[in-house]
């Protein structure tokens, strides 16, 4: 028996930019009293989600004297995208940058108690579930999956090849007759996205970042620099460097300064189901049909993204999508789920890069040196936010990447229409 609960949507409205009267006005820092926002911050971060907070933390960890202001329109994050993420942290990519970004996230998870300790208090518990990631493939894709495994192992990923027989023995609830094999990365898993966001935000504030409740309506440019941000409150804020981490709204802001990016909001559903078996030890499963499933409490959190769905800020619930697409895929792969109960569905938006599915990170060299962008993560923003935050901090403070070279993910490939896509992996 299955039942449907009402949808909970995520995302905040993106207002059209309108001219603002230049003035200094009172704004509200998140988690603090009302105060006057004055001066010219060294770095202005647009968007205080997990990406923006990661940027702020890494900037201030390296240079504590920086004046960092983070503009975030929703201090409760009730409608933000981060809490709607599935929380997966995996190293099973084919591009070295993505593998290394995930490995840095693993480093932070291991050192979370020290990394995010703020004001003498322990950080929120990440709820880390290192139960592994399992990618499975049909016979027609087995060779590609094996080649991907070789790439991953060459970059230090601990992962193993599982034959269909191995899969059937280890995971008896899986249907394996149509599979050619699978790859298991046992060190991977998932976290509580809200805990990561809360911990990073607290740490950024503890280090001196000022979070301001407001919205950037318009960006001004002069010569090769973004020289001011007009806020919804009417304030005009100047900054030495501007970082755009506004998620699905980042492309609109980038377009205001001449950076056109092939990124658009793409609707995705996450379903929570009660199941008739104990699957609590299951790894995070990625199926050839695009099905993604992991344990959540006594049930499963599942999703199957329709990548062909038109882009746009569409947060409407398709009441037939689960029955028509997700449930058949679930039952095909796990026949024991023939009876289940759908308890809830949430809807969110990927900042989907239609060129190649990989993020666009950094500035526009020679054209907008003080404006940095991080968007187009296409569902991988949470797991890579920490490494991208560190990379952008390096680029801002030193003019170059010093840990992971993220240039292959830069804006130059967008201008050249040169895709840099994962191979056989989304």
As a whole-number percent, the residues of the chain with pLDDT over 90 amount to 82
As a whole-number percent, the residues of the chain with pLDDT over 70 amount to 91
- Walk across the sheet containing 236-237 and list its strands: 216-222, 225-231, 236-237
The reported pLDDT for the residue numbered 286 is: 96
Going through 214-305 in order, the beta strands assigned E by DSSP cover: 216-222, 225-231, 236-237, 241-244, 263-274, 284-286, 291-296, 299-304
Checking DSSP bridges between strand 43-46 and strand 68-72, what pairing results, if any?
parallel
Distances (CA, A) of 18 to 148, 225, 284: 48, 20, 45
The answer to whether residue 262 scores a pLDDT higher than 60 is yes
The reported pLDDT for the residue numbered 20 is: 32
User: Considering the chain, what is the average pLDDT of its residues?
Assistant: 90
72-95 pLDDT, tens per residue? Answer: 999 887 767 788 889 999 999 999
To the nearest 10 degrees (0 to 180), the angle between helices 381-398 and 50-62 is 40
- Helix, strand, or coil (residue 208): coil
The reported pLDDT for the residue numbered 308 is: 86
Q: What is the DSSP letter of 391?
A: H
To the nearest 10 degrees (0 to 180), the angle between helices 96-110 and 381-398 is 100
Distance CA 99, CA 383 (A): 10
Query: 12-83+194-263+357-415, what's its fold?
Result: FAD/NAD(P)-binding domain (3.50.50)
The answer to whether residue 11 scores a pLDDT higher than 60 is no
Between 315 and 34, name the one with better pLDDT.
Answer: 315
Contacts of 19 (CB under 8 A, 6+ apart): 218, 230
pLDDT band at 25 (very low <50, low <70, confident <90, very high): very low
The answer to whether residue 7 scores a pLDDT higher than 90 is no
Least-confidence region, from 111-120, 197-206, 288-297: 288-297
279-321 pLDDT, tens per residue? Answer: 999 999 998 888 999 999 999 999 999 888 889 998 899 989 9
Overall pTM surpassing 0.85 (yes/no) = yes
The reported pLDDT for the residue numbered 391 is: 98
pLDDT band at 37 (very low <50, low <70, confident <90, very high): low
The reported pLDDT for the residue numbered 38 is: 56
């Amino acid at each position: 028996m299955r039942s449907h609960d009402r949808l909970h949507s995520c995302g905040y409205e993106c207002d059209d930019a309108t001219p603002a009267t230049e003035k200094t006005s009172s704004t509200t820092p998140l988690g603090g009293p009302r105060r006057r926002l004055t001066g010219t911050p060294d770095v202005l971060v647009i968007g205080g989600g997990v990406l923006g907070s990661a940027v702020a933390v890494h900037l201030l960890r390296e240079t504590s004297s920086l004046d960092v202001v983070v503009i975030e329109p929703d201090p409760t994050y009730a409608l933000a995208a981060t809490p709607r993420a599935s929380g997966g942290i995996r190293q099973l990519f084919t591009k070295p940058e993505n593998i290394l970004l995930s490995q840095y996230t693993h480093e932070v998870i291991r050192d979370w108690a020290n990394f995010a300790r703020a004001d003498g208090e322990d950080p929120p518990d990440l709820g880390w579930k290192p139960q592994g990631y399992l990618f499975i493939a049909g016979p027609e894709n087995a060779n590609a999956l094996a080649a991907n495994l070789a790439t991953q192992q060459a970059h230090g990923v601990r992962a193993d090849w599982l034959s269909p027989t191995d899969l059937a023995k280890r995971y008896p609830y899986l249907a394996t007759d149509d599979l050619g094999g699978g790859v298991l990365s046992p060190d991977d898993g998932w976290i509580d996205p809200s805990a990561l966001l809360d911990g990073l935000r607290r740490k950024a504030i503890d280090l001196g970042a000022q979070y301001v409740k407001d919205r950037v309506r318009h960006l001004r440019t002069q010569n090769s620099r973004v020289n001011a941000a007009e806020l919804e409150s009417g304030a005009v804020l100047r900054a030495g460097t501007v970082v755009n981490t506004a998620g699905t709204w980042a492309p609109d802001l980038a377009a205001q300064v001449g950076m056109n990016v092939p990124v658009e909001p793409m609707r995705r559903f996450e379903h929570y189901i009660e199941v008739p078996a104990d699957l609590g030890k299951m790894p995070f499963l990625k199926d050839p049909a695009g099905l993604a499933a992991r344990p959540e409490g006594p049930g499963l959190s599942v999703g199957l993204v329709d990548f062909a769905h038109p882009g746009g800020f569409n947060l409407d619930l398709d009441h037939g999508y689960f029955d028509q697409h997700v449930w058949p895929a679930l039952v095909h792969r796990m026949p024991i789920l023939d009876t289940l109960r759908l308890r809830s569905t949430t809807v969110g938006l990927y900042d989907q890069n239609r060129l190649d599915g990989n993020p666009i990170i950094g500035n526009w060299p020679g054209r907008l040196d003080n404006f940095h962008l991080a968007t187009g993560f296409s569902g991988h923003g949470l797991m890579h936010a920490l490494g991208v935050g560190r990379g952008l901090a390096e680029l801002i403070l030193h003019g170059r990447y010093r840990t992971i070279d993220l240039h292959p993910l830069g804006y130059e490939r967008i201008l050249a229409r040169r895709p840099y896509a994962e191979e056989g992996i989304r």
